[in-house]
Structure 1
Amino acid sequence: MATISKRGKHQWQAKIRRKGYPVQSNTFERKIDAEQWARDIENEMDRGVFVSRKEAESTTLYEALDRFIDEYIPNLKMVANETRRAKAIQAREIASLYMATIRTKHIAEFIKEREDEGVKPNTIRLDLAILSRLFEVAATDWGMESLSNPVKRARKPKLNGGRTRRLQPAQSKDEKSEEERLLEACGEKFRPVVQFAIETAMRRAEIANLTWANIDLKGKTAYLAETKNMTERTTPLSPAAIGILKGIPRRITGSVFGMSENAITIAMRRAREEAEINDLTFHDLRHEATSRLFENTDLDILEIAEITGHKNLQMLKRYTHLRTNRLADRLAGEKR
C-alpha cells in the first residue's frame, strides 16, 4: 500500500512497500502527482510488468543529454550540428525535468515555445528527432526500460511544401540573369563549385567531400561515399559537368574543389551579396538543377532520383508540374 506524506512546504513523497519488490519512492511538488505515480506503480506490480524507474527518476533531461552528446552523437555524421542542437535544448526549461516525469504535454509545451519564437517547422522537427532518439537510447541502452517515448505521441509541426527558390531570368535586355550575376561575383575558386552544383544537383557536403579518387572521367561518373541519406551512390556526369572538372587544377590533397562545407557557405553568402541577389542559398542551386532535369531532359522520375540521390519520390513529385506541357502534347499525339 502506498503512503503519501508531506515533505516541507511544497513537496509530497509517495512511498510503496510491497513484498517481492524493492521499496519505491518519489517526491513531487503536487499531492495529486504523487498519488497518480503511486497508482501507476501499484498497477504495474499487480499486472507483473513493473520495471524500476529508479535511474529514469534520478536523471534529468539535461544530464541525459550530456551523456547523449558524449556517447551517441560522435557516431553521427553531423557531429557539430547535432551537438549544438542538443546543447541548445539543455538551455530550455524542459531540461530540468527528470526523464521519468516528461510527458507528451511537456513536449507539446516545448513545441509551442519554439513556434512562438518564430522557429521554422523543420528546425523544430530536428529538435524533436534528437529528443526522440535520446528516449529510445535511454530505454534500450542505459537501463531505463520503464521509459516510454513522449515525442512519438506529440503533434509534430506541419512542414511547408519546401523552398521553391530558383535563379531568376533577366527582367530586360539590358539586365543580366541572376545566374550570370552570381557567377560573375564568384571568385575563381568558387565559380566552378556553383557551376558544378547547378549541373549535377549535388548537395553542399557531397561537393565538399568529392575527391579525384572517386571521379571517373572516362566512365563519366562520380562516386559519393557519404551522402545525407547515409548511403553511397554513383552518379552520372553530364558533358558539361565533365567539362567543369577538366578545367579544375589538381590539388595535392586530392580534393576536387578544395573547399569545406563552411567555406562554401561563406563564399556563397559573399557572392550573393556582391551580386545583390536576395534570399538565395547554396541549397537552392540543387533545386534549380533538379528543376532543369525535369525541364530539359526526357529522364523519368526514377532516373532523375538516381542522379539527385532523392530516396523519397514524393520529394520529386513536386517537380512534375514542370512537364505539364509535355503531357498536353502527348495527349495531342505529338512527340517531344
Structure 2
Amino acid sequence: MSKKQGYTLEKYIFVEMRNGSFRFKVTVNPLKDAATFSSEKKGAAWARRRKLELMVERDGGVRETLPPALLRAYQPILEPVPPKAIMSEQVRMSDVFDSYERYQLKELVGENQEGSRLRLLRQCFGAYALDELSEDFIKEWTADRIAGKYGSGRPPNRGESLTLKDGKLVTKHQRHYRKKFKKTPADQKIAEKVIYPVSSQTVRHELKLLRRAVTMFLKRDNRWLTYGSWWEMQYVMTMKLPPIGAPRNRRISDDEMTAIFGHVTDRFLRAAMLFAVLTSLRRGEYVSLRWEDVDWKRQVVKLRNPGHIKKSKVLARDVPLLPTAIKVLQDLGPLERGLIFPVSATDVTNAWRAAADAAGLYDVVLHDCRREAISRLVEVYGMSLEQVMLFSGHSESRTLEKHYLRLDPGKLVLKLSSMPDAFKGMPSL
C-alpha cells in the first residue's frame, strides 16, 4: 500500500494509510492535531472525539472535558449514537423562531421580508424538535417548497394573472379582497389561483434563515457549548443549497420609461421616480432627502446615515447631481427645509407597479431604475466604476458589476460608428 494513499473519513478528518498503520489528521481551522493508530476503528473514534474538542475550543469554549452527552456520542464504537442520545434536552423549533423574532428580526432593515420567511418556516417546522430536522426531512421539504406546495411562486407572465374578462387589471390583494367579501360581479369571475414553481433563490434564502435562526438560538444562554458541535455536523449546516438565481438583466428603454411615467399623475411621486433614474439612489435614500441637505453651489446632495438601530445599506456621503437632476429639484420649487419628496417608500413602489402594469410592462420593477441609472452613467457619460460608486454608494465594485452594470451593445455600436477606425490600415479582402 502506497505511503501517500488516503481518504476523507468525514468533514475535518483525513486518513493516511502508512504501511499497515493509519494516520488520522484532524483540521478544524485554525486548529490541527494528528495521531497514528494500528487499528482504523480506534483511530476513527479518537479522531471524532478530537474533532469535537477542537470545535469547542475554536468557538471560544475551551474545556478540558466535553458534555457527557457529546462524549457518549463518539465512544469507540462502529455505529454513531442516534441524535436523540446527544440531544439530552429537546430543543423545540417554535422556541428557536420565537427567539429569532424577539432578538434578531427587529434589528433588520428588511424586517417585513425576513418576517414573511420566518412565518413560513414556523408553519412548516414549528411543531418539530431540532433533532428531527433530518436529511430526508429537509430534502423532502425543499422539493415540495420548490414545487409550490407551501406557496406559489411568481407567474412567468404577470399580465395573464392580473386580467379579468373585461380586461381590467387586478392584483393578488384585490383578488383576495373580492373573493373574501364577494365584491366581484357574477359575470366577472376571477380565475382560480394557479400554482407556479418557486425560484431556487427564494428557497436558498429560507434555508439560510432556518440555519441562521438555529445557530443564533444555540449561541444564546450558553447553549452553543452543549449543542454547537453537534449542530455543525447536521445536514442543515452542511447541505448543498439550491442554485443561485441568475442576476437580473432588465433594462428600461426610453419608450418604456415614457409609457410608465405617462400613468403617474402625482407630482411628487413622479419627481421621486425620475430622481431615482437620474441618481441611481436606493428607494429609502431618495425618499429621506431633505431640502437643507442640497448644496446648490457644489451641485451635490448630502445623504445622511439613518441613525436608527437597524442595519442599513445607506452610507453617509455627498452624491453628485446631474444637470437634469438639478432641474427636477428646481421644478419642485426649492424650500428651505423639509422632505424633498413627501411620500413614503411604499407609496413609490405601489405607484410604479400600478403605472408599469397600466403600460403593459409587467416585468419592470422599481429597483430596475437603479440598474438603468448605473448603466447609463457608464454608457452616456463614460464614467469609471469608481466614479459611478460615488452615485450608487457601493463599497465594492464587484457587486456593482454583478447586479447592476448592464451595458447595451447597440449603444456601444452607435458610439463606435462616430469614432475613428482603429483598424483602418488593416488589409482588406
Q: Percent identity?
A: 22
Q: Report matched runs for 1:175-254 at 5 Å.
A: 177-187=255-265, 188-219=267-298, 220-226=300-306, 229=313, 231-249=315-333, 254=338
Local SS of the residue matching 1:235: strand
Residue 283 in 1 paired to residue 378 in 2? Answer: no
Local SS of the residue matching 2:367: helix
1:249, CA displacement in angstroms? 4.7
Alignment partner, residue 155 of structure 2: none
Query: Aligned pair in 2 of structure 1 residues 218, 125: CA closer, same or farther (>3 Å)?
Result: farther
Normalising by structure 1, what TM-score? 0.72
Q: Report matched runs for 1:21-170 at 5 Å.
A: 41-44=71-74, 57-92=89-124, 94-103=125-134, 105-117=136-148, 118-145=197-224, 146-147=227-228, 148-149=231-232, 150-169=235-254
One-letter amino acid of the structure 1 residue matched with residue 258 of structure 2 = E
Residue 258 in 1 paired to residue 338 in 2? Answer: no
1:295, CA displacement in angstroms? 0.8
Query: Aligned pair in 2 of structure 1 residues 230, 237: CA closer, same or farther (>3 Å)?
Result: closer
One-letter amino acid of the structure 2 residue matched with residue 223 of structure 1 = L
1:104, CA displacement in angstroms? 5.1
Structure 1: segments with no counterpart, 5+ residues: 1-19, 25-39, 47-51, 170-176
- 1:7-51 residue CA offsets vs partner (Å, 9 max, x unmatched): xxxxxxxxxxxxx99986xxxxxxxxxxxxxxx6514578xxxxx
Q: Number of residue pairs matched?
A: 287
Query: Aligned pair in 2 of structure 1 residues 22, 165: CA closer, same or farther (>3 Å)?
Result: closer
Local SS of the residue matching 1:258: coil
| Conserved 8 A contact 1:224-1:232 | yes
Q: Quote the RMSD (CA, aligned, Å).
A: 3.4
One-letter amino acid of the structure 1 residue matched with residue 264 of structure 2 = C
Structure 2: segments with no counterpart, 5+ residues: 1-64, 77-84, 149-196, 425-429
Aligned partners of 1:275, 1:129: CA distance in 2, in Å?
37
Aligned partners of 1:242, 1:317: CA distance in 2, in Å?
27
Greater helix fraction, Structure 1 or Structure 2: 1
| Segment of structure 1 superposing worse, 283-292 or 116-125 | 116-125
| Conserved 8 A contact 1:108-1:155 | no
Query: Aligned pair in 2 of structure 1 residues 72, 287: CA closer, same or farther (>3 Å)?
Result: same
* Larger of the two Rg values belongs to structure: 2
Normalising by structure 2, what TM-score? 0.58
